[in-house]
Amino acid sequence: MNPLKCAFVVTFGKFLGFIVHHRGIKVYPAKVDAIQKMPPPRNLKELRSLQGKLAFIRRFISNLAGRCQPFNHLMKKDAPFQWDEGCQNTFESIKRHLLSPPVSGAPAPGKPLILYIAAQERSIGALMEQENEEGKEKALYYLSRTLTENKLKYSPIEKVCFALFYAIKKLWHYFEVYSIRLISRADPIKFVMSRPVLSGRLAYLKHEKLSDDTRYKIEVGRRSSRFILYKDTLYRRSFEGTY
């Protein structure tokens, strides 16, 4: 252990590019300043630089993938780089959001967490929260991603299920320790779990049995998760039973 790299009896400190203190984790100010001082990107290289900076602090920004949708057409191969009004509005909106970036709270042991999931036409998102002592929900982690071309063909229910798969994969360390209450608009997950017959990607969620269609076997096998939804609470399970 190098004493020059250690700090003892401190209330906060910088760690891996973030500020860690008793309230949780927040963005290191220099990371935000670098984005605030950036001029509008003039070419693809500068746009990728912006996206790289945003990716580093994505856990603090709600629906980042959805917010950045106007940038996507500029990233396509051989597409001309034309920074239009939609791109500029998005750029300014992100900067305004970062004027007061949220603090990712530290989860309190023994208290359940709340997982919000949502699916839009071209992106999915999730938010993990927990109620504090005053009964107010505090954000722990934001997730979002853009849907690839093949996933754009998913039905709305399949997109929401994919959002659940994605959240479980990224936030598995919370699922190992805490009970999770799942919340989704219009309860599509509950609808899927109650259906007597499911097809393709969704069948595995309830029956843990892959479709005979080989197109689904590969994807479902890769993304399958050992969880079950029961009375609005998400539990982890094994193939032998709930645990």
Domain match, 56 and 34 both: yes
Domain match, 87 and 180 both: no
Q: Is the pTM of this model over 0.85?
A: no
- Out of 64, 97, 130, pick the residue that ends a domain: 97
- Out of 72, 97, 122, pick the residue that ends a domain: 97
121-175 pLDDT tens trace:
888 888 888 888 777 888 888 888 888 888 888 888 788 888 888 888 888 888 8
Domain match, 124 and 229 both: yes
Q: Over 80: is that where the pLDDT of 115 sits?
A: yes
Domain match, 61 and 116 both: no
Domain match, 121 and 191 both: yes
- Out of 45, 73, 97, pick the residue that ends a domain: 97
| CATH code of residue 150 | 3.10.20.370
CA dihedral 158, 162, 168, 169 (to 10 degrees): 150
Q: How far apart are CA 145 and CA 57, in angstroms?
A: 14
- Domain count along the chain: 2
* Domain carrying residue 184: 107-236
- 243 domain-assigned: no
Q: What tokens does 130 get?
A: 């927990």
Q: How far apart are CA 27 and CA 17, in angstroms?
A: 8
For 12-38, b/e burial (b = at least 16 CB within 10 A) is eeeeeebbbeeebbbbbeebbeebeee
